[in-house]
Amino acid sequence: MRVTQSMLAQNSLRHLSKSYELLGKYQDQMLTGKKITRPSQDPVVAMKGLYYRTNLKEVEQYKRNLSEAYLWIENSEAGLEQANQGLQRIRELLIRAKNGTNSEDERDAVARELKQIKDDLVAVANTQVAGRYIFNGTKTDSAPVSGDPPVVNNNNEPFKIELSKNIQIQVNITPDNVFNQALFDTIQDIQNALENNDTTNLDNLLGQLDDHIDALSAERAELGARYNRIEQMENRIGQQEVISTKILSDNEDADIERVIIDLKEQESAHRAALAVSARIIQPNLVDFLR
């Protein structure tokens, strides 16, 4: 095959173009810190990157959901603690009122304090967090208790939040187990008995009150168990985030040390190619006529 000066020049230019392309690739990797800047450079890396990034976004969303779950549970626990203190105080007042030595004025004073506690319990049952009622199931836009005497209209559907793939956790209490109509009826009956100076049914009312306190304690225990489970899920999600981030980095991030070495090698090869091309592409007659 006859090799001409034109063929040598074209080959030299083609190789120089490829050399520039490699230099551009290594420079892009240095600037961006990524293996590729376009999917066409490595479709496999690009496709895996989409999958890994989607997985990482899911984990990040679950972390945000965890914050929402903690918001509900911690506010629910605070509300139950306040309600428990109120019921315990009502119990103390009821035991004091049962004492036959109390005068009518003293029982009336106890009844007034009890009314304030009842109003506070209504406020607790109607607790709002970020504009949502947390003690009314999924009907977070309406108050569960209203009026005086209180009337209860609870929604007992569990409010659930997805904290992992296909795993939803209830983050609210069951309202009828705590803030039910029977509870407020019992408190109202105690208040009426004290206002009317009627002590005949106080023992029975004390037993009813104790049942409500026991139900509240059981609901708090259930809420605490769910809180512990959420903490365990948070640890797993944290581990998943670390693993997902590492896998994504391994797939997309360039090895900067390796890139620097490759860039230096390519620069040396490119300088040599330029020197060789300068010798191959000889001057022609036009160059001599200039």
Q: Is the dihedral of CA 269, 273, 275, 276 positive or negative?
A: positive
Low pLDDT (below 70) residues in the chain: 1-5, 100-102, 280-290
Per DSSP, 168 falls in state E
In the prediction, which pLDDT does 151 show?
94
Q: Which two tokens stand for residue 43?
A: 């479709």
In the prediction, which pLDDT does 25 show?
82
Q: Which residues contact 270 (CB under 8 A, 6 or more apart)?
A: 16, 19, 20, 23
Q: How far lies 277's CA from each of 4, 10, 20, 266, in Å?
A: 14, 10, 14, 16
DSSP annotation string for 227-244: HHHHHHHHHHHHHHHHHH
Peptide bond into 43 cis (omega under 30): no
- Long-range contacts at 125-133 (CB < 8 A, ≥ 24 apart): 125/83, 125/152, 125/175, 125/179, 127/75, 127/79, 129/71, 129/72, 129/75, 130/71
User: Coil, strand or helix: which one is 163?
Assistant: strand
Task: Give CA–CA dist 279/174, Å, rounded.
Answer: 88
- How many Å from the N-terminal Cα to the C-terminal Cα in the chain? 33
Q: Which residues contact 22 (CB under 8 A, 6 or more apart)?
A: 266
In the prediction, which pLDDT does 215 show?
95
* Domains of the chain, residue spans: 5-33+254-289, 52-248
Per DSSP, 176 falls in state G
Q: 52-248: which CATH topology?
A: f41 fragment of flagellin, N-terminal domain (1.20.1330)
Has this prediction a pTM greater than 0.85? no
In the prediction, which pLDDT does 288 show?
47
In the prediction, which pLDDT does 21 show?
82
In the prediction, which pLDDT does 281 show?
66
Tens-digit pLDDT profile for residues 72-117? 999 999 999 999 999 999 999 888 887 766 677 777 888 899 999 9
Tens-digit pLDDT profile for residues 36-56? 888 887 888 888 888 888 889
Q: Which two tokens stand for residue 192?
A: 């009426």
